[in-house]
Amino acid sequence: MSGAQLENAQVLGADGTFRTGSVILTDGAFGGEEDAAAVVERFDATGLWLTPGFVDVHTHLAWRAFDAAVRQRLTPGEQARDVRLNAGRTLAAGVTSIRDAGGLTAPLAQEVGGLRAALSVQLLGAEDARGPAHLRGRVQELADAGAAWIKVVATGGVGAGDAVLVPVFDELELKAIHVTAARLNLPVMVHAWGGPALTQALEFGAASIEHAVLITDDQCRLAADVGAFVVPTIWIYTDVLAMAAAGTLPPSLAPAARRAVEAHPLAVRRCLEAGVKLAMGTDAGLDTQHGRNLSELACLIEAGVPADAALLAGTSGGARLLGRRDLGVIRPGAPADLVCFNADPRRPEVLRDPSHVVAVYVRGELLHATS
Ligand SMILES: [Zn+2]
């Protein structure tokens, strides 16, 4: 398409404030004033709120079940269908770029439609804690399989009960992962609730710490010093807790989920205070979770992140973590990934309700629209 203009909208600027203005879409990119003459279609966007496409830096697009055994029983055809469905829901929620935190292989990534996807292919977890040599081989294998990121599960998660701070790898193993990844030019994303593994990951150069539920003030200062991102995932634990209470997930998950729900907002405020960079991650891994991605921004706002900072974490913040400074911002020449809301997305209740996302463009192409 060449030259469409959305006029009289509220447009999110790079500083996080909305201003009344127009957005020009031209040949896949945002246009500047000089492109106004070539505009062939004009739309009155009064009442619409326009943001760059959102970036979910922690999702599991190929997953729809909590239980790995259930996922492993799926045929390739069923997996491909799940990825198509999950990608469609994610896009309709306003997310135009993702970093997959495990499960999305290169063949399955063919099914994501217009979504931009960076892969970690498979996560490295407890079953790979078999010494540094094994891990050097695994990192190389993942690189060969198309990973752009190495995902490490360095502590337990919601299934670990009280043992959530116990490191999964010893220090030499964790170092071997980071050194090998660095040699292959692959950034590392580290699942860590807290404890010594979180500190080691930061010292070894992790690009992002995922969850960080029990991060300390000292660890926040270290993260800020080394420039690592923290990716809180507040919403998923509230969802898991609700499902465990309702019996749709195992009740054994409830204690750790409850601990996360209680501690996570405090962890986010610690990060804010220390000046740690934040990005939006959902950890969505169930068919009922894909498509509710912006709920995480609502949770960040309710935890004390100013709404403008939350919207930036969800757009330019995530784009920077992915090394894509051209994304997550409405700027002439940047790829035209654009989301149109029919209400103010600084309000948590708007972010929680994907029906407020009335149109989503990727590369200037309208890929989702409500009637
Ligand atoms: Zn995850």
- What does the pLDDT look like over 341-350, one tens digit per residue? 999 999 999 9
Q: Which residues contact 236 (CB under 8 A, 6 or more apart)?
A: 282, 283, 284, 289, 296
Domain co-membership, 266 together with 334: no
Domain co-membership, 280 together with 346: no
Q: What is the pLDDT of residue 66?
A: 78
Distance CA 8, CA 339 (A): 15
Say how many Å lie between the CA of residue 58 and the centre of ligand 1. Answer: 6
Say how many Å lie between the CA of residue 134 and the centre of ligand 1. Answer: 23
Distance CA 57, CA 99 (A): 4
Domain co-membership, 45 together with 189: no
Say how many Å lie between the CA of residue 34 and the centre of ligand 1. Answer: 44
| CATH number assigned to the domain comprising residue 340 | 2.30.40.10
Residue 358 pLDDT grade (very low, low, confident, very high; cuts 50, 70, 90) = very high
b (16+ CB within 10 A) / e for 89-113: bbbbbbbbbbbbbbbbbeebbebbe
Say how many Å lie between the CA of residue 326 and the centre of ligand 1. Answer: 26
Domain co-membership, 111 together with 175: yes
Say how many Å lie between the CA of residue 285 and the centre of ligand 1. Answer: 7
Mean per-residue pLDDT, 121-125: 97
Distance CA 289, CA 86 (A): 9
Q: In this structure, are residues 21 and 11 in contact, taking their beta carbons and an 8 Å threshold?
A: yes
Domain co-membership, 33 together with 152: no
CA angle 194–97–159, rounded 5-degree value: 30
Distance CA 165, CA 191 (A): 11
Mean per-residue pLDDT, 229-234: 98
Mean per-residue pLDDT, 33-41: 89
Domain co-membership, 238 together with 104: yes
Mean per-residue pLDDT, 70-75: 88
Domain count, the chain: 2
Domain co-membership, 134 together with 263: yes
pTM above 0.85, yes or no: yes
b (16+ CB within 10 A) / e for 203-241: ebbbbbbbbbbbbeeebbebbbeeebbbbbbbbbbbbbb
Mean per-residue pLDDT, 231-237: 97
Domain co-membership, 313 together with 335: no
Q: What is the pLDDT of residue 1?
A: 45
| CATH number assigned to the domain comprising residue 228 | 3.20.20.140
Say how many Å lie between the CA of residue 283 and the centre of ligand 1. Answer: 5
Q: What is the pLDDT of residue 234?
A: 98
Domain co-membership, 80 together with 116: yes
Domain co-membership, 35 together with 78: no
Domain co-membership, 160 together with 35: no
Report the run of H or E that residue 48 belongs to, with start and end.
Answer: none
Q: In this structure, are residues 299 and 362 in contact, taking their beta carbons and an 8 Å threshold?
A: no
Say how many Å lie between the CA of residue 59 and the centre of ligand 1. Answer: 6
Task: Give me the chain's average pLDDT, please.
Answer: 96
Q: What is the pLDDT of residue 151?
A: 98
Say how many Å lie between the CA of residue 163 and the centre of ligand 1. Answer: 18
Closest CA to 99 of 301, 345, 327: 327
Q: Which residues contact 353 (CB under 8 A, 6 or more apart)?
A: none
For 133-164, what is each residue's pLDDT tens digit? 999 999 999 999 999 999 999 999 888 888 89
Q: What is the pLDDT of residue 2?
A: 62
As a whole-number percent, the residues of the chain with pLDDT over 70 amount to 99
Say how many Å lie between the CA of residue 284 and the centre of ligand 1. Answer: 7
For 55-71, what is each residue's pLDDT tens digit? 999 999 999 887 888 88
CA dihedral 141, 142, 144, 145 (to 10 degrees): 120
Domain co-membership, 186 together with 269: yes
State which residues form the domain around 77.
54-321
The 8-class DSSP code of residue 321 comes to H
